[in-house]
Amino acid sequence: MQYLGEHHLWSLAGRLFVALSFAGAFVAAFFYGLQVFRSPAAREERPVHSLRTAGRWAFGLHSLGVLGTIGVLFAALFNHWFEFDYVWRHSSLDMPLEYIASCFWEGQEGSFLLWLTWHMILGWVLIKTAKTWEYGTLFGLAIVQLFLASMLLGVYFGEVKLGSSPFVLIRELPENIGLPWTEFRDYLMRIPAFRDGQGLNPLLQNYWMVIHPPTLFLGFASVTIPFLFAITALIEKRYTDWVLPALPWTFFGVAILGTGVLMGGAWAYEALSFGGFWAWDPVENSSLVPWLTLVATGHLMMIVKHKKTAPGTTLFLAILSFLLVLYSTFLTRSGILGDSSVHAFVDLGLNGQLLAFLGFFTVGSLVVFFWRARSLPKSASEDAFSSREFWMFIGALTLLLSAGQITLSTSIPVFNKLIGPEGLLPLLDAKMAPPADAARHYNSLQIPFAIIISILMAMGPFLRWKESPNALIRRATLSLIISVVLTFVIAWGLDLWDILYVALLGASLFAFFANADYWLRYLKGKWTAGGMALAHLGFALVLIGALISNAKKEAISTNATFIHEDFPANENVLLPMGDTVSMFPYYVSWKGERMEGHNRVYDVEFYEVESPLASWADGERKHLKTSFSLQPFIQMNARMGNVREPSTKHFWNKDIYTYVSYADLRNAEEQQGDWKEPMEASLKTGDEVFLFNEYLLHGDTLVVVDAAFDPASGELTHLELALSMTLKAMDGQTYPILLPYLLDGNSVSNEEVQLEALGIKLRFDGVKDEEGSYGITAWQKKANDPPFILMQAFIFPYINLLWLGSILMGIGSLLAVWKRIYRSLSEGAK
């Protein structure tokens, strides 16, 4: 059947492209594989160029498949073809153009595609540059791509689903097959649900979400390359040579993955309202861990490069980093973190496949590693105590331990699956939950590691090859003195006296100054040589910034309402509209709210005390001047829930971070419908009563409009009354009122009369028999109370050090990469 308006051929094309990329990867793995298991010597002697050419062609077809897949998916998103399940679930018509990219990788299928794409591009760089390493690395890469492409296949073998295709049409979903509406040729026009999609998760409608995922996935993809080199080295027994071509890749990965992780932090800080850039959330942790092990790998590779010894640990770590990326993919995508993470992904039913992906590479690489373990060269002698290599090794080990600890705590849900009460091997009687206070847990364990790393980073540049300890101490003295003095000045200035914090502050300041000193004094501030020093001092700044901004993060908003001694005053300040509320050191006032697209924006004005001396005499409030204004907002999204988004004022030395923690989100009309508890009054003609302490109600006359009696019994059967009154407002304005009362048989109808201008309404309840006074019920609108919001505000001191540090770290790592590429290019030219 031909469906009207459906882009069925595009869907077919998309699936064919996925199949092409899958098949291309398979064929490439086959042809490159044929070469890998010939010894390099034999390859050199009798090169079979046709095999390599075939491998490259196959990889080319694979690349074509990947590019085609991207093209079709973009076309579908761009043109809003909502018959595509992926498009319908992740985008909508009102989507701003720049977020089409975010829609692209919001779903799991899209993020696998992103990963696939970066691998494909890096694969071509390898083909162009890896020379003799091309066979092994491309063989491995093709297998990785085979697994990734299979995630997008979306084919069924009986009940087993292999992959999830982004090109499935909604009518083809298993739950829809056979339903009556799928029989309509014009179902797209008939069913209103197809006219618009579900839209992008409001949290992801942020510019950081346009650049964070591609950066992070480029980082993940570059972790694969050292792994490929390591596996090739093991298979081809080139245990130390691999380090030279793999080093630039490793530090490229360090730079990009590190930036990607911190961009995630920046997004959390800018767009989420949990109040910070890092929350030790499992999803954040699992992208940090591979970075830590990759940094360790890179440093161990330097040792191997300089000493040509003991490559075993290095090879193992390069493999481990990649496996940890796969593990983190499994953690975040399998839904296993459901209870413990705010970022839970939707389970696509690919758990088995993800586990197979992880299992294949874990078992496969371990087999290769232990198969070669015996023939791995051992180091003949131990490194001297004062050698750079020894301390670099200790540093790498510390990073590994730090990564191990984070993995351990993040994996608690996995332990539950394995040894929990409902797990495979029920050893525990209760399910373990993640630490209740995650920040305290991780900080207590990670700060000591960070202190060791910082000290090693500080000593690193001065530990020249084979030098005496005295020379080292002489060189480091200057930066040591500066940092000790500065530590005490800062700790005193900020009142930061926790022993661990002071130790970390001192150690990271030492690392900063030692590397700055080394770069300026010994390297004469040369950019090309300064990569290492810059990266290290950048990382030290990241630590300093993270430490100060977290340890001295201060809530300036407090709720003064006393509830109970068990509840300490919380961090939500009550802001009635128009009031000026003290929030030391500022005064704040909520000016009003407005709609801006989907966002309900709250304008909050911050004031400073202008002249402290004058205000000391006659009160601060008389001497306020506007300091700045912030616009925290709530993104209204009926489908996926409203999201509170922060607004932050950046100063050079601190950030003021605010978000609206509570607001009445009903529209004006709904809010108008609210009446307060009514009040009752009774009065006679000529009497006056106060209403709501604001109005004076005067009883004028009671008019009998009409009355009828039953002629037989003489009983009253029909009575129509009108009570005439006058309402006087505070400003002297008077309002005449006529309240009706109708008795007809046994039914009474006495409608309320509303005074729109005043926001009150009145009802005449009849004459109270005994005194002959008139009963009145009066209501006042709730909206007459000033509306209010609750807001939280925090000061993050010196958080800019963190961002500055991460930029320097990125630049430094890239400089180191550039230096290595430059050197190998010039060596190649000789």
Partner 1 sequence: MKRSSIILLAVVAILIGALLVTLQDASVYATFTMAKKQQPETVTVVAVLDLEKPMDFQAESSLLTFTALDKEGVASTVIYNQPKPTDFERSEEITLTGHYKDDAFIATEILMKCPSKYTDGEGVVADGTYTQTQPAP
Residues at the interface with partner 1 (CB under 8 A): 88-89, 170, 175-176, 179-181, 184, 186, 189-195, 198, 338-340, 342, 344, 346, 382, 394, 397, 401, 404-405, 408-409, 412, 430-437, 440-441, 444-445, 559, 561, 563, 566-567, 570, 572, 574, 634, 639-644, 661-662, 788, 790
Tokens of 772: 């002959």
Residue among 437 and 710 whose Cβ is closer to partner 1: 437
Residue 632 C-beta: closest distance to partner 1, Å: 13
Distance between CA atoms of residues 42 and 35, nearest Å: 10
Distance between CA atoms of residues 152 and 23, nearest Å: 13
Tokens of 384: 């001297």
Distance between CA atoms of residues 78 and 585, nearest Å: 48
Residue 189 C-beta: closest distance to partner 1, Å: 5
Residue 642 C-beta: closest distance to partner 1, Å: 5
Instruction: Please return the burial class of 227, using the count of CB atoms within 10 Å of its CB with bins 0-12, 13-18 and 19+.
Output: buried
3-class DSSP assignment, residue 93:
coil
Residue among 328 and 410 whose Cβ is closer to partner 1: 410
Q: CA neighbours within 13 Å on the CB side: how many for 277?
A: 24
Phi, psi of 617 (to 5 degrees): -75, -50
Tokens of 409: 């705590």
Residue 263, C-beta contacts closer than 8 angstroms, at least 6 positions apart: 208, 211, 212, 215, 216
Residue 194 C-beta: closest distance to partner 1, Å: 7
Instruction: Please return the burial class of 299, using the count of CB atoms within 10 Å of its CB with bins 0-12, 13-18 and 19+.
Output: buried
Residue among 9 and 430 whose Cβ is closer to partner 1: 430
Residue among 132 and 642 whose Cβ is closer to partner 1: 642
Residue 346 C-beta: closest distance to partner 1, Å: 6
Residue among 89 and 781 whose Cβ is closer to partner 1: 89
Cβ proximity of 61 and 181 under 8 Å: no
Q: What is the DSSP letter of 675?
A: B
Per the omega criterion (within 30 degrees of 0), is the bond before 377 cis? no
Distance between CA atoms of residues 426 and 320, nearest Å: 28
What residues are paired with 709 via a beta bridge?
716
Tokens of 428: 């525990």
Instruction: Please return the burial class of 533, using the count of CB atoms within 10 Å of its CB with bins 0-12, 13-18 and 19+.
Output: buried
Residue 440 C-beta: closest distance to partner 1, Å: 8
How many degrees, rounded to 5, is the angle at CA 221 between CA 168 and CA 284?
A: 85
Distance between CA atoms of residues 154 and 168, nearest Å: 8
Cβ proximity of 672 and 785 under 8 Å: no
Residue type at position 470: N
Phi, psi of 366 (to 5 degrees): -65, -40
CA distances from 530 to 488, 516, 667, 813 (A): 29, 9, 58, 10
Counted residue by residue, the chain has a size of: 830
Residue among 121 and 432 whose Cβ is closer to partner 1: 432
Residue 344 C-beta: closest distance to partner 1, Å: 7
Helices within 468-592 (DSSP H only): 469-494, 499-517, 531-551
Residue among 497 and 562 whose Cβ is closer to partner 1: 562
Closest alpha carbon to 765 in 735, 721, 717: 721
Residue 293 C-beta: closest distance to partner 1, Å: 15
Residue among 62 and 388 whose Cβ is closer to partner 1: 388
Residue 601 C-beta: closest distance to partner 1, Å: 16
Residue among 100 and 412 whose Cβ is closer to partner 1: 412
Residue among 339 and 710 whose Cβ is closer to partner 1: 339
Distance between CA atoms of residues 93 and 84, nearest Å: 14
Tokens of 576: 């009635």
Cβ proximity of 743 and 718 under 8 Å: yes
Residue among 302 and 406 whose Cβ is closer to partner 1: 406
Residue type at position 582: S
Residue among 235 and 663 whose Cβ is closer to partner 1: 663
Distance between CA atoms of residues 504 and 543, nearest Å: 8
Closest alpha carbon to 287 in 324, 317, 314, 237: 324
Residue 587 C-beta: closest distance to partner 1, Å: 20
Residue 711 C-beta: closest distance to partner 1, Å: 54
Residue 821 C-beta: closest distance to partner 1, Å: 34
Residue 412 C-beta: closest distance to partner 1, Å: 6
Phi, psi of 445 (to 5 degrees): -95, -35
Residue 664 C-beta: closest distance to partner 1, Å: 8
Residue among 149 and 463 whose Cβ is closer to partner 1: 463
Distance between CA atoms of residues 328 and 418, nearest Å: 17
Residue among 643 and 723 whose Cβ is closer to partner 1: 643
Tracing tokens 């996926």 back to the chain, one arrives at 640
Residue among 195 and 684 whose Cβ is closer to partner 1: 195
Residue among 21 and 416 whose Cβ is closer to partner 1: 416
Tokens of 621: 């409030």
Residue 277 C-beta: closest distance to partner 1, Å: 19
Cα-based torsion angle of the residue sequence 364, 370, 371, 375 in order, rounded to the nearest 10 degrees: 140
Residue 550 C-beta: closest distance to partner 1, Å: 18
What residues are paired with 645 via a beta bridge?
633
Residue among 5 and 96 whose Cβ is closer to partner 1: 5
Residue among 377 and 404 whose Cβ is closer to partner 1: 404
Residue 286 C-beta: closest distance to partner 1, Å: 16
Cβ proximity of 341 and 434 under 8 Å: no
How many degrees, rounded to 5, is the angle at CA 505 between CA 499 and CA 510?
A: 125
N-term to C-term CA, the chain:
67
Residue 417 C-beta: closest distance to partner 1, Å: 13
